[in-house]
Amino acid sequence: MKQAFLPLFLGLSLAAGEGFAQSHATVAIKDARVITVSGEEWPKATVVLRDGLISEVGAAAAVPADAWVIDGSGLTVYPGFIDGMSSWGIPAPATARGGGGATGAQAAATTTEPRARGPEDRPQTFSYERAADLVTPTDSRLESARAAGFTSAATYPTRGIFQGLGAMIDLAGERGRDMVIVQPIGQEIAFRQGGFGRSGFPGSLMGNISYVRQLFLDLDQYEQAKQIYAANPTGNRRPEYDHALEGLAESPRLLLPAEQVQQIDRMLHFAPELKKPYVLYGLHEAYERIEALKQAKIPLLVSLKWPEKPREGDPSEVSSFRELTMREKAPSVPGMLAKAGVHFAFYSDGVESAADLKKALKKALDDGLTRAEAIRALTLSAAEIYGVADRMGSIDKGKIANLVVMKGDAFEDKTTVEYVFVDGQEFHPSKDLQQGPPAGGGGRRPGAAGPATQNEELQ
Amino acid sequence: MKNRIGVLAAGLALTLNAETIFIRNATVMTVTKGTIQNGSVLIQDGKITAIGKNLSAPADATVVDASGKFLTPGIIDCHSHTAIEGGVNEGTVSDSSMVNIKDVLDPTDINIYRELAGGLTVMNVLHGSANAIGGQTVVAKLRWGKSAQEMLFEGATPGIKFALGENPKRQGYPAQGFGLNQGAAQERRYPGTRMGVEEVIRQSFIEAKIYQAEWKAYNEKVARGEHPIPPRKDLRLDPLVEVLEGKRYVHAHCYRSDEILMLIRVADEMGFKIRTFQHVLEGYKVAKEIAAHGAGASTFSDWWSYKIEAYDASPYNAAIMQKKGVVVSLNSDSDELARHLNLEAAKTMRYGGLSEDEALAMVTINPAKQLGIDDKVGSIEVGKSADLVLFDKHPLSGFSKPQKVWIDGHEYFDREKEIETRPEFEKKKKALQDKEAAAAPPGRRRTGAGTGESNPTATNPNWEEAR
């Protein structure tokens, strides 16, 4: 199995234009500028990678005799970037719905699910599905992600309201299971409006919210009932097994959509009801709520898909002042959050080509975010949000050997990615992939601003 | 419109720090205590503290000279669907009492500001009428610029929407969809008849009573020191128990007299009260029965025949019901109509010969009574909230325009200021447009990621100017 698989994977990599993936047990990057993020910035230092971990870093670090040596002069070493909320590595079910990458079970669940008549039917609930079981290194998006400097992602399945248990993964590996760093890391919740009568409950935003609320109330009762039953199983009726609730119980944190100002307010008010740690994602209109977000003391995931003028709309249609303002100010949100000391990271949100990811990050720099803050948001902050900063997110001895080596400063036009190390494995992203026409973009994640459906309203 | 979403003020501070305002020389139409020519009203800490002819302004007061103008209580809309984000109906089930309008109030909906400009200060925001038992409803003040939580009317009893007749039985909703949803198949949903609507309501209340009893039994066991497994907390049945306990008002959408009587019978059988009948176009036929039940009626002035069950209507409906002892209000059910409810009120003078005060009461004190907030708003009386509208002409005239609107003594609308700031606003908008055009010249086509089919700003129906 493994032997058949490996050449196929390498073949794919070559065909897509990425340099041969190398595996050296020991690598030393010598005389490079090293941005550790956690502490010192070394103008000239050596980073040693051994057996997939960072074994030494510093100006005085010795180059082991058995190391494959890379001359780092003129190069900068950053920790590998982390996508704070992603679907990288998980075959998209959206295009599938019976084909594509979805497994048979997935497709069947989508097509044969009966019309839900209330929360009891657990509509659009995949809370038990594990990203860790779904990831595969054959996802073609991994290569363009690496070309942009990403080595890891907090990845989640993408269907339903309760989308499933995420996993922190590395963006390379021989098999899916090699990629998983930690799981489960959270439960992504998206609001989906099926509309009036075509699909089952819930059809409205308020239906979504009441469903989420009900499911957590059910979880309370479920856990209480299980406890009471465990203490006294004889003579008591057993609580019914509910995998939707099992999935929720296992979620260490919740990711909730909050794009516009009223949605941010709504989630800040609603989320505490659910009695779980939570993270808000979206945040494009957060410039109106910096202070409230700071006081809430919760981590945020800022979408890198900045709002843009709709390209396929009526050209004569004039955008509202609010839309114009949001398009103008959204990229300034990261800078404002950094200044206010709010803990945040970025997520790709369907921006998938290396060129577009770089462009999106550059926009945040142009609007007030410093390069150091941007790098931190892409590395250590993301790791901290998921509680995995003890093993990744910075260049420190003992952490996973995830690095990106660039010629030039990160996010600048002329900067190139020379090497990417994922779990110690070396990649050379091709120049074409970094600068050329980007691959077809994925759809934006639903949730914060899922397409509103045209309801027939009865008033 | 200006983006007035500013820094959050703490919810409790809304009525504090309101300035002292002295409005003088107005025709003060109190609605409940007659009209005072050349009268003055004093506002302190968000409340009306003095009304009369010979008042003088305190030294610290902001004086508003209202010579030739008319001061009325803030207008109250007992049937609104304004500021609901993501769907007015949870129309997928015939009892959707688990959903709550309070969860999806959108304080950035520009219609709030437009309705405020028409003198509206309070709205009863209702779920739609797609199902026999609809969602939970909420009373809000039009505090434009504040958050959703800050818009909620403090202490107002929450409600729930019921609906009878054609809408909940899906009359005219063919399986193949219609209108904008043509081609989108709709699954047939119980109920399909008026009999079924009645049974849905009865069934839900029977379930609610069983649920209520389960919890009672559980609480008794806990009180005895036992450790039973608690019943499931059911968000659908909780609000119905509240209805049974009189803690939640029922606002029932209805048209025909027979179904009005039907609901009264079901309510008597199950032991709850209907707070208001909404639309209630045939209310004039059963006004005595409505009055005897103690329900209010919130109707349209002269709007009917838009569907079969709305044919046997009369513009005299409001006046007839009022004369039979029903508390009657006129409502909007529309973001547009909500901007001139004073003119709807005026029509009851033409149809039914109501007095000026009776007509104004239809959109002020009467809806306040129906919503149980008449101790706080609905008329100009000492001790009530300073929710006031200053009209340039008689408010029952088609030529009148609100000049200023106060809520809790805060000025939320000023026509002069609005007009004054428009050129500057247009300039700012133009600057943003120009900047965007310069950054990405039209015709330039980007490829790749973000060929965004779902740009949020293009699809959210609540974006200003996009509706």
pLDDT of the residue at B183: 52
Please judge whether A449 and B459 are an interchain contact, meaning their C-beta atoms are less than 8 angstroms apart: yes
pLDDT of the residue at A22: 64
Residues A87 and A21 in one domain: no
**Pair type for strands A76-79 and A403-407:** antiparallel
Residues A8 and A62 in one domain: yes
> Which chain A residue has its CA at the smallest distance from B101's CA?
A206
In a domain, A53, yes or no: yes
> Which chain A residue has its CA at the smallest distance from B79's CA?
A459
The domain of A46 spans: 1-80+393-435
pLDDT of the residue at A200: 86
Q: Which residues of A347-360 are buried (b: 16+ CB within 10 A; e: fewer)?
A: bbbbbbbbbbbbbb
Please judge whether A119 and B450 are an interchain contact, meaning their C-beta atoms are less than 8 angstroms apart: no
In a domain, A238, yes or no: yes
Please judge whether A208 and B86 are an interchain contact, meaning their C-beta atoms are less than 8 angstroms apart: yes
Please judge whether A456 and B167 are an interchain contact, meaning their C-beta atoms are less than 8 angstroms apart: no
Residues A350 and A363 in one domain: yes
Residue B108 has pLDDT above 90, yes or no: yes
In a domain, A419, yes or no: yes
pLDDT in tens, B175-215: 555 555 555 555 667 898 999 999 999 999 999 999 999 99
Residue A260: list chain B partners with CB under 8 A: 108, 456, 460
In a domain, B297, yes or no: yes
Q: Which ipTM was obtained for this model? A: 0.90
Residues A29 and A177 in one domain: no
In a domain, B168, yes or no: yes
Structural domains counted in chain A: 2
Please judge whether B425 and A309 are an interchain contact, meaning their C-beta atoms are less than 8 angstroms apart: no
pLDDT in tens, B136-171: 999 999 999 999 999 999 999 999 999 999 999 876
In a domain, A28, yes or no: yes
pLDDT in tens, B216-264: 999 999 999 988 888 999 999 999 999 999 999 999 999 999 999 999 9
Residue B464: list chain A partners with CB under 8 A: 320-322
Residues A105 and A71 in one domain: no
Query: Who among A193, A289, A443 is closest to B454 (CB)?
Result: A443
Residues A236 and A297 in one domain: yes
In a domain, B188, yes or no: yes
Residue A206: list chain B partners with CB under 8 A: 84, 86-87, 90, 99-101, 103-104, 127, 135
Residues A159 and A260 in one domain: yes
Query: pTM of the prediction?
Result: 0.89
Residue B459: list chain A partners with CB under 8 A: 449, 451-452
Looking up residue B281, the CATH number of its domain turns out to be 3.20.20.140
Residues A247 and A368 in one domain: yes
Please judge whether B233 and A217 are an interchain contact, meaning their C-beta atoms are less than 8 angstroms apart: yes
Contact B411, B88 (CB under 8 A): no
Query: In this structure, what is the dihedral angle of CA atoms B395, B396, B398, B403, given to the nearest 10 degrees?
Result: 10
What's the angle, vertex CA A94, arms to CA A89 and CA A95, rounded to 5? 95
Residue A321: list chain B partners with CB under 8 A: 1-3, 425, 428-429, 432, 464-465
Residue A452 has pLDDT above 50, yes or no: no
- Mind telling me how many Å the CA of A458 is from chain B's nearest CA? 5
Structural domains counted in chain B: 1
In a domain, B274, yes or no: yes
What is the pLDDT confidence band of residue B282, given thresholds at 50, 70 and 90?
Answer: very high
Looking up residue A420, the CATH number of its domain turns out to be 2.30.40.10
Q: At a CB cut-off of 8 Å and minimum separation 6, what does B465 contact?
A: A318, A320, A321, B1, B110
Q: Which tokens sit at A315?
A: 């050209």
User: Strand A300-303's sheet: what is its strand order?
Assistant: A162-165, A187-189, A254-258, A278-282, A300-303, A344-347
Residues A307 and A368 in one domain: yes
The domain of B102 spans: 75-378
Residue A95 has pLDDT above 50, yes or no: no
Q: A254-263, B99-108, B189-198, B405-414: which range is least confident on average?
A: B189-198
Count, residues in chain B: 467
pLDDT of the residue at A431: 85
Query: Which 3 state secondary structure label does DSSP give A73?
Result: coil
Residue B429: list chain A partners with CB under 8 A: 321, 324
Residues A152 and A273 in one domain: yes
- Mind telling me how many Å the CA of A441 is from chain B's nearest CA? 3
In a domain, A6, yes or no: yes
pLDDT in tens, A276-327: 999 999 999 999 999 999 999 999 999 999 999 887 777 778 899 999 999 9
Residues A379 and A408 in one domain: no
Residue B466: list chain A partners with CB under 8 A: 320, 323
In a domain, A459, yes or no: no
Nearest by Cα to A432 from A16, A10, A84: A16
pLDDT in tens, A161-176: 999 999 999 999 999 9
Please judge whether A199 and B104 are an interchain contact, meaning their C-beta atoms are less than 8 angstroms apart: no
pLDDT of the residue at B446: 41
- Mind telling me how many Å the CA of A239 is from chain B's nearest CA? 9
Nearest by Cα to B14 from B266, B434, B451, B387: B387
Residues A64 and A102 in one domain: no
Looking up residue A357, the CATH number of its domain turns out to be 3.20.20.140
- For the segment A384-406, the average pLDDT, to the nearest whole number, is 98
Q: How many beta-carbon contacts under 8 Å exist across A and B?
A: 282
In a domain, A449, yes or no: no
